[in-house]
Amino acid sequence: MKISLIQMNSQPDRDHNLRQALRLMQDAVDRDAPDLIVLPEHFDWSGGTAQQKVDAADAVPGGGAYEVLKDFAATHRVWVHAGSLFERIEGRERIRNTTVVFDGGGTEVGRYRKIHLFDIVAPDGKTYRESETVERGNDLLIYEVNGLRIGCAICYDLRFSRLFDRLVQAGVDVIILPAAFTLQTGKDHWEVLCRARAIEFQVYFVACGQWGPYPGPGGETRQTYGHSLVCDPWGQVIAQASDAVGFFTTYLDIDRVQAVRNLIPMEAHRLDLTDMAVRSVRP
């Protein structure tokens, strides 16, 4: 399967972001004719205040970003893994950070709502409180394209291996993770975590990120890390974006997944340790 990753620099301006996404997606289709296009987290809106994010949340289905991508998928006969957008929940104060997947006919095949919410103070002192505005999801999504079973995750989910263990138990070959990793955490943790997930779960790991500056609360400038990449099931980075807005295209091969799993049959060796006793000894 041929896959294109779109690396964006989204802002608190939906029209600007959709124009950027459509231009890059069109370039990818014209140059590479991919089977699947992947967008980053927050492709339709990034930054601003907590209230601006809530106000920017849109209908799913029926919202502007949703309909634009639905039409693009149908027009170009290409699957679209729509990174994540802010989904409005009728009757609720908080919104959801939601991946929507469209098939090559423009039909929605599923949604994944981000489970692990980014509530931290970064090394530079900037505070991130995603749970102030976002309600976490409560289920997982797997879909299939060209014989490859694909599991969904979003950004901060990357740090929680139990999610990926559950996806692999359900038989995925590929994990796609749209993200907006901060510059400070990304430079130390992004690649090593992506490669680790590919190795420990013997899957292709597709990580599509935001890159560059955007305005945060109070007008402060925040930076996302970018470095969108694809790791094969051996943990090798087979394609990676430069430090810029743009796209790249690569191939995913089910035979490569099977070859790695045959070489090191981890699934046959994987144990359920849930009920195993833990002995804690103090000197």
Catalytic residue set: 41, 114, 155
Structural contact between residues 45 and 36, judged by C-beta atoms closer than 8 angstroms? no
- Spatial separation of the C-alpha atoms in residues 240 and 259, rounded to whole Å: 23
Tokens of 108: 């929605």
HEC per residue, the chain: CEEEEEEECCCCCHHHHHHHHHHHHHHHHHHHCCCEEECCCCCCCCCCCHHHHHHHCECCCCCHHHHHHHHHHHHHCCEEEEEEEEECCCCCCCEEEEEEEECCCCCEEEEEECCCCCEEECCCCCEEEHHHCECCCCCCCEEEECCEEEEECCHHHHHCHHHHHHHHHCCCCEEEEEECCEHHHHHHHHHHHHHHHHHHHCCEEEEEEEEEEEECHHHCEEEEECCCEEECCCCCEEEECCCCCEEEEEECCHHHHHHHHHHCCHHHHCCCCCCCCCCCCCC
Q: Which of 6, 99, 84 is nearest to 41 (CA)?
A: 84
- Spatial separation of the C-alpha atoms in residues 122 and 128, rounded to whole Å: 8
